[in-house]
Amino acid sequence: MTNRLEDVLENSGMAVDIVPVEGELNVGPQHPGSGHMRILVKLNGDIIEDVDLDVGYVHRAVEKLGENRNYMHLIPLVERPAILDSIHMNLGYVMAVEKIINVDVPERAQYLRSFAAEVNRIASHLYGLGILGIFLGHSTAFMWGFGDREVWVHILEMLTGARVTNSYIIPGGVRRDLTPAIIEETKKAITYMRKKLEDWKKIFLYNPTIRARLENVGVMTKEKAIEWGAVGPNLRASGVYYDVRKIEPYAAYPKLDFEIPVYKEGDGYARTMVRFEEVEQSLRMLEQIIKEIPEGNILSDRFFKQIPPTRLKKWWEGYRRIVLPGYYASFRPPKGEAVTRVEAARGELLYYLVSDGSAKPYRLRMVTPSYRLINVMRNLAKGSRFADLVSIYGSLDYFPPEADR
């Protein structure tokens, strides 16, 4: 089109010199739209020619520290990279430890794990939608995201005792039991969220400005998504039916009835829609869990027996809480290695744990969903407009601390 116009102009004796305007923009680390990283953007006019993600500003060296701490001390550490998604971070690690020490988890604890994970998923998605909103200048979505998230954070607080850094899941089970008060609160929260999602659709999803900013922006085809190794909602928005909860079910997911939303478009809007529908599915799952959760113990008998009877009487029978048995202080698992994966809110989270028989892991590899999005985001941003950088960033729900670990 432009070429033709130029030809016409030249033929009519009005040749126009189009001077390319090139330059680099240093977006971040002190920038409202960069997060904890530096994005080196090479611009040609409004088009991004190349992008270099300078990550690592919030690197916590989880893998190195993992080699220097006991297995139990690592539980609070591994959830720090993504505190808004800490249940999943925790769950994957504990599943790897359980695999090495070979312990079974009671049914009720499995349901509780799924319960906490789904509550956490809703909270995390709302956070992501809020960030996407403010990236596009929609401050209402930002405030709503964080406001509605509070409802779910409150439930997590009632269940686990902490708002975000829960450390709720321990090898062999979970720390606290579900009480009727929490069930009541969850039912209220589900009703509230269902109502609120309608409002969300009106002001955010069907907002013409949001649609204009997300549709056909950052399009990732199915082939590219597979090649770049995209994960989670971003992968599903590109038409790949892949969810660890279905592929390799863990916790109570084999028994729950839920669907995986998949979109073909692969653009930012599809990614946002997938997140929305996942929130709806999570609400469905929570209802099922509340209804179907079996009675029973919440810690494996192997560890439960080790709790002193006096403390058991006070804490378990009194408050429905587990006091950590002495075994946990510095247990030495047998030699071996384990690869576990869970579907965290942003996608597949992989733990690779190598034990050499000592009290500390020999190697802990933690591959978070955002870590795998670094490559995706870098590739997607190329060729898009500068203003789309933030909508790609936001729609991928990339979370720098989680990527840096």
Partner 1 sequence: MQRPIDNVLNLVKSKFNAQVKAESDARGQIEVDKKAIVEVAKLLKEQGFDHVKSVTGIDFPEQEKIQIVYHVSSYSNPELAKVILALKTYVTYKEPKMQSLYEVWESAWTGERETYEMLGVYFEGHPDMRRLFLPEDFEGVYPLRKSYKIKLEGLFVDKQA
Partner 2 sequence: MDILGLLRFYILYPSFFVTVIFPGLVFTLLLLLVTIWFERKAAARVQMRIGPYYASKRLGGILQLVADAVKFVFSEIIIPNEVNPTLYALAPVLMVIASFLPIAVIPLSVIPPSGSVFSIYFKDFYDPDINAGVIAGLFVNYNLLLVLAIESVYPIFVVLLAWSTNNRFAVVGAVRETYLSVSYDVILLMSTLAMALEYHTLDIAKIVSYGIPGIVANPLAAFLFFVAMLMGSSRFPFDISEAETELVIGPYTEYSGFLFVLTMAGSYVGNFIYALVFADVFLWGWYPLSGFPGLVLTVLKAVIVLFFATFMRSVYARYRVDQALRGSWKYLLPLAFASLILGMVVGYVWIR
Which residues contact partner 2 (rule: CB under 8 A)?
A: 23, 25-26, 31-33, 46, 133-144, 147, 203, 207, 209-210, 212-213, 385-390
Gap between the Cα atoms of 331 and 329, Å rounded: 6
Residue number with CB closer to partner 2 (136 or 298): 136
Site string for partner 1, 205-234 (x = CB under 8 A): --------------------xxxxx-----
- Shortest reach from residue 260's CB to partner 1, in Å: 12
Name the residue with tokens 């510095």. Answer: 330
Q: Cα-flanking dihedrals φ and ψ of residue 320, to 5°?
A: 60, 45
245 binds, among partner 1, partner 2, none (CB under 5 to 8 A by kind): none
Structure tokens at 261: 């939303």
The three-class DSSP label of residue 18 is coil
CB of 59 vs partner 1, minimal distance in Å: 5
Q: Which is nearer to partner 2, 141 or 274 (CB)?
A: 141
Please state, in angstroms and rounded to a whole number, the distance separating the CA atoms of residues 308 and 305: 8
**Three-point CA angle 111, 113, 119, nearest 5°:** 100
Direct distance between the N- and C-terminal alpha carbons of the chain, in angstroms, rounded to an integer: 46
Among 371, 393, 398, 399, binds partner 1 (CB under 8 A): 371
Q: Which is nearer to partner 1, 96 or 174 (CB)?
A: 96
Q: Which helix (H) or strand (E) holds 174?
A: strand 173-174
* Binding piece for partner 1, criterion CB under 8 A, among 138-146, 176-184, 305-313, 366-374: 366-374
Give the one residue of 5, 8, 329, 387 binding partner 1; rule: CB under 8 A. 329
134 binds, among partner 2, partner 1, none (CB under 5 to 8 A by kind): partner 2
The SS3 call for residue 52 is: strand
Q: Which amino acid is at 367?
A: V
What mask of x and - would describe binding to partner 1 in positions 44 to 83, judged by CB under 8 A? -----------xx--x-x-xxx-xx----x----------
- 328 lines the binding site for partner 1 (CB under 8 A): no
Say if CB 162 and CB 231 are below 8 A apart. no
HSE of 150 in the Cβ direction (CA atoms, 13 Å)? 6
Check residue 339 for interaction with partner 1 (CB under 8 A): yes
Q: Considering beta carbons, is residue 235 or 289 the nearer one to partner 1?
A: 235
For residue 301, the number of C-alpha atoms closer than 13 Å in the C-beta half-sphere is: 2
